[in-house]
Amino acid sequence: MENIVVTSSLPTAQAATAAPSNNAVHETPNVVKHDSAATDQAQPKSSTKTAYASIEQLVIEREVWEQTVYRTSNDMLYGLLQKCYGLYKSMEGMSADAIVLRSGLTDYINLKNIKCTSTSHTLVKIVKCVFGDDRRRASAYGIVLRAALAEKKAVADIPTFIRDNGGVEEIRLAKAPNALTSKQKASVSVSALQNGSMGVFSSAVLSQKLDAGNIGKPVVLIGFWQADGSVRVQAMVQSDTAVTAALSSFYGTAKASLSLVAQQQQAANDSQIAKDAVTQAVSEATSMPIAA
């Protein structure tokens, strides 16, 4: 379909004031043909154009930031961590230089009154000296460098090691000693959820999907909120991946209370291990033959 657009060759001001006359010289109109379908596809609507241009500008600014300030900042941080790692490697062993460096680190910690425990890893002590006594930052950088140490990385490889593993935060989350895996979070969530109930949902359709082997196991029900506060259940998912993801997500929303459950579980496990050890020792003692 074609739209015919007629434009006058008269200037705008003249065109606005000129009155029609039989004696007037009629200008030959310029006829411009547009393919409306092609134009609509090639050019977005005005509101879309505004949003498009705004987002494109932000993308450009993000690219500049990534290639300048962000990259430079990370490069400097990784360089400092590399030097901390190098200092630690120089302290290894029993050479005269290593002993002097370790002694110097202890003196610096005492002089600056930096809080370190006797069990703190030397890498963590170095990080605290360099980056200040910020516990969270010292912990994060310490985890990164200890992860590199565990993998026996060379000093020259530290920046590449950090980048290849997604940066400081990714390594911290993956290597943090107290971090729980998704399965561990799911396990804690299951224990907590067994202590309460929001109600029971049942239907003939749901009953038909029951596998006797799944009785007692968690399941994901997918539903929609209704205006009266009820939930219309539409589907059921039993896959381990979906259930684990849902329980792990629940752990994130109720982390404070579930952390207490996890601690109680760990204490109970430790207590049970101790009881089992005592029981085993008593059993072995009572079964030993009595010497004549």
pLDDT digits (tens, 9 = 90+) for 227-241: 888 889 988 888 888
| Highest mean pLDDT (candidates 109-113, 131-135, 159-163, 198-202) | 159-163
Looking at every residue in the chain, the average pLDDT score rounds to: 75
With 0-12 / 13-18 / 19 or more C-beta atoms within 10 angstroms meaning exposed / middle / buried, residue 90 is middle
- Average the pLDDT over 152-162 and give the result: 95
| 3-class secondary-structure state, position 267 | helix
pLDDT at 5 over 50: no
The more confidently predicted of residues 214 and 146 is 146
User: Is the pLDDT at 198 greater than 60, yes or no?
Assistant: yes
The whole-model pTM stands at: 0.45
Query: Crossing angle of helices 71-91/135-150, nearest 10°?
Result: 70
SS3 128: helix
pLDDT, mean of residues 29-43: 50
Name the pLDDT band for 210 (thresholds 50, 70, 90).
confident
Residue 155: predicted pLDDT: 96
